[in-house]
Amino acid sequence: MYDALHYALGGLSGGLVGLTLGLVGGGGSILAVPLMVYVVGVSDPHVAIGTSALAVAVNAATSLSHHARAHTVKWRCGAIYAGAGVVGALLGSTIGKAIDGHRLLSLFALLMLVVGALMLKNRKAEGIPGAQCSRENAAQVVGFGLGTGTFSGFFGIGGGFLIVPGLMASTHMPMINAVGTSLVAVTAFGLTTALNYAASGLVAWGIALVFIAGGIAGGLVGTSAARRLSGAGTLTTVFACLIFVVAAYMLAKSWNAG
């Protein structure tokens, strides 16, 4: 079904996903599905979603190890957020499998535009470096985790582009910490969604493997760049602009297909 060109494009796409996962925590997640469909050539949107979820989960775990060594991960917050989100991801992915795949892509693009606008609006918020999860904000963290997990599973993404603003809103942590911490939840959400899709035979395993291999290399570069761009709202602006570009492309493809 897939030839050498598909696998080569899968490896290159994986590199881009790994780069953006390391850089902004969620860019890889939002890029993975459209890359699978429009670049690699996975024709079934549901297979693209299941395969992307697996690849993103593994690449997120790799980038998480890099951020952990840089001490940018708030582990307690990540665990609470991921725990709540896994429940939502299981529910969302079950619903998503029952909905037309092309409609999912259009809804996904519209959601990206909303999140990008919110991130750009708050790009100059520096956050509180020592912010942690506590009794005072635990309910907010759980609520955001459950909500973003549901969206993550529904759209078949790691969910980092939702988790990063969710962590910042519920704990007021700086962007660089939100990026590192989000990868705990991205890994958990992605694996939950991937296992649900794999149980229905909706994962292209060979494409997933080359995507992951490319992503590991890209993640090294992205994590290093994130530390250099973390000040003065630059990283948040890059994140928001990336979301706008991909969303516009997906909407254009959807309209042309219609």
Q: How many CB atoms lie within 10 A of CB 56?
A: 38
Query: Could you give the CA distance from residue 128 to residue 41 in angstroms, rounded to a whole number?
Result: 43
Q: What percent of the chain has pLDDT over 90?
A: 20
pLDDT tens track for 13-25? 999 888 877 776 5
Query: Could you give the CA distance from residue 218 to residue 171 in angstroms, rounded to a whole number?
Result: 29
Residues 6+ apart with CB under 8 A from 178: 25, 127, 163, 164, 165, 167, 168
pLDDT tens track for 146-201? 988 888 788 766 566 678 888 888 888 887 888 889 889 888 888 888 898 999 99
| Two tokens, residue 32 | 């993975």
Helix (DSSP H) and strand (DSSP E) numbers for the chain: 10, 0
Q: At what angle do helices 160-171 and 4-24 cross, to 10 degrees?
A: 10
pLDDT tens track for 186-199? 888 888 888 989 99
Q: How confident is the model at residue 212 (pLDDT cuts 50, 70, 90)?
A: very high
* Strand segments (E) across 92-180: none
Query: Could you give the CA distance from residue 58 to residue 242 in angstroms, rounded to a whole number?
Result: 21
pLDDT tens track for 77-127? 999 999 998 898 888 888 888 877 667 777 777 877 887 787 777 666 656
3-state SS string over 62-81? HHHHHHHHCCCCCHHHHHHH
Amino acid at 194: A
Supply the range of the domain harboring residue 13: 4-257
Determine the 3-state secondary structure of 150 from DSSP: helix
For 133, phi then psi, to 5°, come to -90, 130
Note the pLDDT of residue 12. 93
CA 58 from chain center: how many Å?
12
Instruction: Evaluate if residue 134 carries a pLDDT over 90.
Output: no
Read off the DSSP letter of residue 40: I
Question: Locate tokens 């598909």: which residue?
Answer: 6
As for how many domains the chain has, the answer is 1
Q: How confident is the model at residue 8 (pLDDT cuts 50, 70, 90)?
A: very high
